[in-house]
Chain A
Amino acid sequence: MTVVTESELKVLMLLSLDGDEAAYRCLLDVLRHLLVRYYARRLGRSDTSDVDDLVQDTLLALHQRRITYDRERPFTAWFFTIARHKLVDHHRRTGNRGHVGLEAAGEMPDGYREDAVSAQMDIQRLLAGLPAWQAEAIRQVRLDGSSITEAALHAGRSESMVKVGIHRGIKALAARLRGDHGRDE
């Protein structure tokens, strides 16, 4: 499985919170695969329908409660707290109490411990494949909250070019990430 980093997921989440549908679709696709692994490992392979239910329930919870994500905090910590909440709830409903304490203590899956998730946002890595001015415009407008006008001034290009550039850049980004994670279905 391709390793997805906290910074990649966080960028996708921030873009999603700004209403970017391509980024959101990409985020949900990636998270779906992470969740399948997360729940399958904890429920055992026999419960595939339970795993599917939990995955869908968790994605729906992310959607309905995304207002509670704090942009200053790591995304994976927030997201896997929701996933664990759903898992504990599942164990409670199915009467599998023995598991609850154990799983609740089980924190986040491998690679998402606090030191990893608080790592500096590696935007350069995510944006590396794009033309420099496009990457910079995405960073300024979508992540730093600058206006299109400011970004256009900075890039020395027209506003409409910057707008189109951001749109294309995000599409390319999403396609690349989707391609990366499509393979392990």
Chain B
Amino acid sequence: MAGTNELIDDLVRDLRPVHRHALAWLLGRALLPGLALSTAFILFVHGLRPDLGAALFLPAFWVKSAYPLLLGLIGVGALLVVARPGGRPVGSALQVAIVYALLVGLAVLQLRQATTPDESHRLIMGISALYCPLIILATGAAPMAATFWFLRRSAPTAPGLAGAIAGLSGGALGAWIYSWGCIENGLPFVALWYTLGIVLCTTLGSIMGRLWLKW
């Protein structure tokens, strides 16, 4: 038992006060540089959408931007739950479902207003359908690194689930940043291809979680 005595001595010596909201602060501290890096990528490598000034007056632009932002915020809330031992953010799954259902509803409305098959096709496929999920993987990478950095310092007891939530949050926040550079205005496009990008990040996160979130 000598080892345990020494360990306790070491731990007591190493004790530092912990702030009441320390966990949320840690997540904030992780996300800030992640989001900054992703923003820099869109600003300086990809570029903002050229018609941003005009797009600001389109409801579709704001819906496209709000959808991943809401998913990202739900994900951040779920992260703070899953980061604690035994944490299961059950309510968050319902919130994600509601947000997605709202988007699909608006997408259907927008499709109905389309007058020609060409216009419908454009709303669904845009001109960047296959490129979009990949660039969301790219813009999601830095926020995902942040959420994983955070989870490795907390205590998730379900590594696959925690990783998936880290991927969802990172991917959704990355998609939100990309929404300022993306030229599409179709909500069906967002419901399909943005979602696919975020799902890719979530799946990747789940695999990474199983590998890296064991403790």
User: A residues bordering B, Cβ < 8 Å?
Assistant: 16-19, 21, 24-25, 28-29, 32, 52, 55-56, 59-61, 63, 65-71, 77-78, 81-82, 85, 89
Say yes or no for B83: interface residue by CB 8 A criterion. yes
Could you tell me the distance in whole angstroms from the C-beta of A3 to the nearest C-beta in chain B?
Answer: 22
Could you tell me the distance in whole angstroms from the C-beta of B159 to the nearest C-beta in chain A?
Answer: 10
Who on chain A is nearest to B14 by CB? A63
Main secondary structure of the interface of B (DSSP, over half): loop
Could you tell me the distance in whole angstroms from the C-beta of B15 to the nearest C-beta in chain A?
Answer: 5
Contact of A63 with B11 in the complex, beta carbons under 8 Å: yes
Contact of B154 with A28 in the complex, beta carbons under 8 Å: no
Picked from B8, B11, B17, B153, the residue with its CB within 8 Å of the CB of A19 is B17
Could you tell me the distance in whole angstroms from the C-beta of B181 to the nearest C-beta in chain A?
Answer: 35
**Stretch of B20-28, B140-148, B170-178 at the chain-chain interface:** B20-28
Contact of A59 with B84 in the complex, beta carbons under 8 Å: no
Contacts of A68 in B (CB 8 A): 23, 83-85, 154-155
Could you tell me the distance in whole angstroms from the C-beta of A181 to the nearest C-beta in chain B?
Answer: 13
Contact of A67 with B8 in the complex, beta carbons under 8 Å: no
Q: In the complex, A85→B214 CA distance in Å?
A: 10
Could you tell me the distance in whole angstroms from the C-beta of B49 to the nearest C-beta in chain A?
Answer: 40
What are 22 of the A-B contact pairs (CB < 8 Å)?
A: A18-B17, A19-B15, A21-B12, A24-B11, A24-B15, A29-B8, A32-B8, A56-B4, A59-B7, A60-B11, A61-B215, A65-B85, A65-B153, A65-B215, A67-B23, A67-B26, A67-B153, A68-B84, A68-B154, A68-B155, A71-B20, A78-B84
| B residues 3-37 touching A (CB-CB < 8 Å) | 3-4, 7-8, 11-12, 14-18, 20, 22-23, 26
Contacts of A25 in B (CB 8 A): 8, 12
Q: In the complex, A28→B5 CA distance in Å?
A: 10
Contacts of B214 in A (CB 8 A): 89
Who on chain A is nearest to B23 by CB? A67
Picked from B4, B16, B23, the residue with its CB within 8 Å of the CB of A52 is B4
Q: In the complex, A81→B83 CA distance in Å?
A: 13
Could you tell me the distance in whole angstroms from the C-beta of B113 to the nearest C-beta in chain A?
Answer: 48
Encode B186-215 as 1/0 by CB contact (under 8 A) with A.
000000000000000000000000000011
Contacts of A81 in B (CB 8 A): 85-86, 157
Contact of A28 with B8 in the complex, beta carbons under 8 Å: yes
Contact of B4 with A17 in the complex, beta carbons under 8 Å: no
Contacts of A71 in B (CB 8 A): 20
| B residues 108-159 touching A (CB-CB < 8 Å) | 153-155, 157
Could you tell me the distance in whole angstroms from the C-beta of B52 to the nearest C-beta in chain A?
Answer: 40
Could you tell me the distance in whole angstroms from the C-beta of B126 to the nearest C-beta in chain A?
Answer: 42
**Extra pairs beyond A24-B12, A61-B155, A82-B157 (12, CB < 8 Å):** A17-B17, A28-B11, A56-B4, A59-B4, A61-B215, A63-B11, A65-B155, A71-B20, A78-B85, A81-B86, A82-B85, A89-B214
Contacts of A16 in B (CB 8 A): 15
Could you tell me the distance in whole angstroms from the C-beta of B8 to the nearest C-beta in chain A?
Answer: 5
Contacts of A55 in B (CB 8 A): 4
Contacts of B11 in A (CB 8 A): 24, 28, 59-60, 63
